[in-house]
């Protein structure tokens, strides 16, 4: 790992100012950044450590929803009694991510800045072509081993999969982030790769995520995160779904439905076509399975990742039907 200088921020403002300088990066839990620095992917000149800032780890939750400080640890949010009862999909997405040790280190704000696990992106020593790392250098994944790559939201420049779980649940429930004075929907924070896969987030130098806001809703209260993977634990999703469901008073007609996919796209993927197809309909397996197919509309595979196009709709359908049984 290349050396860098270390600066411990004493306030949010000094952190923002220091991180706005060329070559500087914010350091929170470090679970992505230190790893990528060891891989030679991240080459910061200065790391601005924000983990000693006070008051940014609060978790506030009520009828209106939840506000979670950017420095709250994944494990603390996952185990929070009110998050579990009022926003179960958020808790489930968190405890099924990474390992207990990583969840004790990684922060909510840092989690949203997590980078792709594309093995070509992570290995500059062996693969010089990567448009995300080096704009214009090409893509080593296209034509390579693609089992873990995206089938939705890809471009000719990049097919790297967004690996996070939390953000998938956040976009399903219209969560927003606080960037100082500015508020931004999490869905708008993540950018499609297009012709500029190096630009992943709609965040400017000098901006810092300070909190996440999740609106309360009946669908968020009755929600789940279903994650399917190659091994049972400590693994990224082969396909996952964050789903929330609200039924009419008759107990069978769908009033509100939220669906987002993980493990299959270049960003957290809200599946509004599935939501629209099922709202107002009676919750029954045939209709749910048919509508869930719409979650992969427009999907493009690169050979070995074709299975995701079959798997994702099944994961969506299973999650919706599971919620339907918990009336």
Partner 1 sequence: MTKTTIPVHLDINGHHHELQLEPRVTLLDALRERLGLTGTKKGCDHGQCGACTVHIDGERVLACLTLAAQAEGRAITTIEGLAREGELHPVQAAFLEQDAFQCGYCTSGQIMSAVACIREGHAGSDEEIREYMAGNLCRCGAYPHIVAAVRQAAQEFAA
**What residues line the site for partner 1 (CB under 8 A)?**
1-6, 8, 27, 29-31, 34-35, 37-39, 47, 49, 51-52, 75, 79, 98-102, 104-105, 232-234
Nearer to partner 1, 34 or 191 (CB): 34
Q: How far is the CB of 226 from partner 1 (least distance, A)?
A: 15
For residue 75 the two structure tokens come to 């494990």
Nearer to partner 1, 232 or 326 (CB): 232
Cα-based torsion angle of the residue sequence 184, 186, 187, 189 in order, rounded to the nearest 10 degrees? 70
Count of alpha carbons within 13 angstroms of residue 134, beta-carbon side: 16
Q: How far is the CB of 265 from partner 1 (least distance, A)?
A: 24
Q: How far is the CB of 47 from partner 1 (least distance, A)?
A: 7
Nearer to partner 1, 92 or 301 (CB): 92
Nearer to partner 1, 3 or 204 (CB): 3
For residue 86 the two structure tokens come to 């009022």
Q: How far is the CB of 3 from partner 1 (least distance, A)?
A: 5
Count of alpha carbons within 13 angstroms of residue 53, beta-carbon side: 28
Nearer to partner 1, 43 or 253 (CB): 43
Q: How far is the CB of 99 from partner 1 (least distance, A)?
A: 2
Q: How far is the CB of 315 from partner 1 (least distance, A)?
A: 19
For 172-230, what is the HEC assignment? HCCCEEEECCEEEEHHHHECCCCCCCCCCECCCCCCCEEEEEEECCHHHHCEEEEEECC
Question: In which region does residue 76 sit, left (phi positive, over 0), alpha (psi from -120 to 50) or beta (all else)?
Answer: alpha
Nearer to partner 1, 190 or 236 (CB): 236
Q: Which of 235, 227, 244, 232 is nearest to 312 (CA)?
A: 227
């Amino acid at each position: 790992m290349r050396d860098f200088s270390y600066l411990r921020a004493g306030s949010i403002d000094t952190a923002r100012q220091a991180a706005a300088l060329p070559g500087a990066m914010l350091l929170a839990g470090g679970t992505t950044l230190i790893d990528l620095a060891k891989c030679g992917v991240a080459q910061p000149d200065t790391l601005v450590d924000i983990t000693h800032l006070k008051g940014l780890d609060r978790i506030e939750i009520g009828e209106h929803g939840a506000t979670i400080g950017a420095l709250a640890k994944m494990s603390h949010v996952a185990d929070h009694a009110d998050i579990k009862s009022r926003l179960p999909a958020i808790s489930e997405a968190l405890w099924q991510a990474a390992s207990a040790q990583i969840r004790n280190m990684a922060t909510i704000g840092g989690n949203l800045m997590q980078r792709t696990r594309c093995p070509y992106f992570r290995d500059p020593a062996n693969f010089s072509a990567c448009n995300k790392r080096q704009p214009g250098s090409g893509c080593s994944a296209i034509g390579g081993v693609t089992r873990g790559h995206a089938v939705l939201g890809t471009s000719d420049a990049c097919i790297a999969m967004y690996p996070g779980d939390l953000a998938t649940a956040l976009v399903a429930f219209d969560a927003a982030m606080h960037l100082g004075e500015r508020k931004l929907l999490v869905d708008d924070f993540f950018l499609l790769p297009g012709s500029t896969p190096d630009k992943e987030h709609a965040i400017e130098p000098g901006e810092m995520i300070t909190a996440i806001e999740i609106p309360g809703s009946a669908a968020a209260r009755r929600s789940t995160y279903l994650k399917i993977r190659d091994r049972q634990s400590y693994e990224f999703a082969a396909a996952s779904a964050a789903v929330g469901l609200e039924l009419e008073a008759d107990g069978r007609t769908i009033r509100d439905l939220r669906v987002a996919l993980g493990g299959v796209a270049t960003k957290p993927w809200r599946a509004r076509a599935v939501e629209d197809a099922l709202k107002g309909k009676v919750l029954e397996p045939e209709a749910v399975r048919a509508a869930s197919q719409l979650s992969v509309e427009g999907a493009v595979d690169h050979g070995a990742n074709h299975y995701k196009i079959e798997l994702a709709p099944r994961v969506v359908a299973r999650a919706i039907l599971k919620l339907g049984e918990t009336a």
